[in-house]
């Protein structure tokens, strides 16, 4: 099992001169955070297989911009540049998580600026697509030449990676479990591969952080065969996402998060203390499902 906590970081505004009382300082949102334990255990939670396992993986997000011939025809995509990053934590099967990480890294390392047409007024909308998605620039279409007023430096600077990151992670999860479904030999085996994820992404251009949660729900296809439907949602500022041992900790963790906000204390400090205390108390019972140290990611740093 695993315990993962993810939420928005609130704290008192920094006192640059050191002379402002705490009650006079604003309590502000400063980013997002993810905390997780470090233990990998057997399914029954009685034995620890690895007590220092990294359950958060950082993936660099790379974007390539299009280059055009002087006559406006598409030429090629330029070199990839770092546009941000995403930290992904999981609860569940480590093997499934590793497959998701590898699939997501492949897509996010080669995002390409492309475009769509607005359904409202037909205006040009700039989007990011992975290399395996259909792309009107590389495939051709109704428009084959592009004017000087399209794909400008200002247009490129305004593109956020957040939507593409969320979409690519969801697709990576769907692809992974679709592949596992084809090779599983029983329902029990398929269920044992289950994993859920939370992502904390940072867009350099927009200087924005975002938390997204990916949960799996069992469903049946037209033939009555089991598959996992992937639900994705952004975590709002007032909520705390709990992955893994939700039955044991979700209610108490959310209550701790709420108390921290009401008391104007740093939410990441409060949740770090909550997780450390919860792991220590849980270990006293003899369970080895979760363990120290607590690992954390805070965005922006």
The pLDDT score that the predictor gives to residue 84 is: 97
User: So what CATH class is 3-299?
Assistant: alpha beta
Longest dimension (CA), the chain: 72
Please give the pLDDT value at position 52: 87
- Distance between CA atoms of 288 and 284, rounded to whole angstroms? 9
Supply the pLDDT for residue 119: 78
Residue 49: per-residue pLDDT: 77
pLDDT of res. 152: 94
- Which tokens hold the place of 112? 């390409």
pLDDT, block means (10 residues), the chain with 301 residues: 95 84 91 95 71 93 96 94 97 96 98 89 90 89 81 94 97 96 92 96 96 96 92 96 96 98 97 96 86 95 75
Write down the domain spans for the chain. Answer: 3-299
In angstroms and rounded to an integer, the radius of gyration of the C-alpha atoms of the chain is 22
From CA 121, how far away is CA 218, in angstroms rounded?
39
- pLDDT for res 250: 97
Query: Residue 112 in contact with residue 26, Cβ under 8 Å?
Result: no
Q: In terms of Cα–Cα distance, which of 251, 211, 202, 208 is closest to 232?
A: 211
């Amino acid at each position: 099992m695993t315990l993962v906590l993810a939420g928005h970081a609130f704290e008192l505004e920094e006192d640059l001169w050191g002379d402002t009382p705490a009650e006079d300082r604003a309590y502000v949102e400063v980013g997002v955070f993810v905390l997780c334990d470090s233990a990998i255990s057997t399914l029954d939670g009685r034995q620890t297989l690895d007590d220092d396992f990294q359950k958060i993986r950082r993936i660099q997000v790379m974007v390539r911009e299009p280059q055009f011939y002087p006559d406006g025809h598409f030429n090629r995509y330029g070199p990839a540049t770092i546009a941000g990053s995403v930290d992904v934590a999981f609860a569940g099967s480590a093997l499934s998580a590793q497959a998701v990480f590898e699939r997501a890294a492949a897509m996010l390392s080669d995002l390409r600026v492309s475009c769509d047409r607005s359904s409202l007024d037909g205006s040009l909308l700039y989007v990011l697509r992975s290399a395996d998605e259909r792309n009107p620039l590389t495939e051709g279409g109704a428009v084959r030449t592009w004017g000087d007023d399209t794909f400008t430096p200002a247009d490129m600077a305004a593109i956020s990676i957040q939507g593409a990151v969320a979409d690519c992670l969801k697709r990576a999860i769907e692809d992974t479990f679709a592949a596992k479904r084809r090779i599983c030999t029983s329902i029990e085996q398929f269920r044992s591969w289950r994993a859920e994820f939370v992502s904390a992404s940072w867009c350099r251009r927009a200087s924005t952080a975002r938390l997204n949660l990916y949960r799996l729900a069992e469903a049946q296809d037209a033939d009555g065969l089991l598959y996992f439907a992937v639900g994705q949602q952004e975590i709002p500022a007032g909520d705390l996402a709990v992955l893994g041992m939700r039955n044991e900790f979700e209610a108490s963790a959310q209550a701790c998060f709420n108390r921290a906000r009401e008391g104007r204390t740093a939410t990441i400090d409060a949740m770090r203390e909550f997780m450390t205390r919860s792991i220590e108390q849980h270990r006293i019972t003899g369970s080895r499902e979760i363990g120290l140290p607590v690992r954390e990611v805070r965005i922006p740093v």
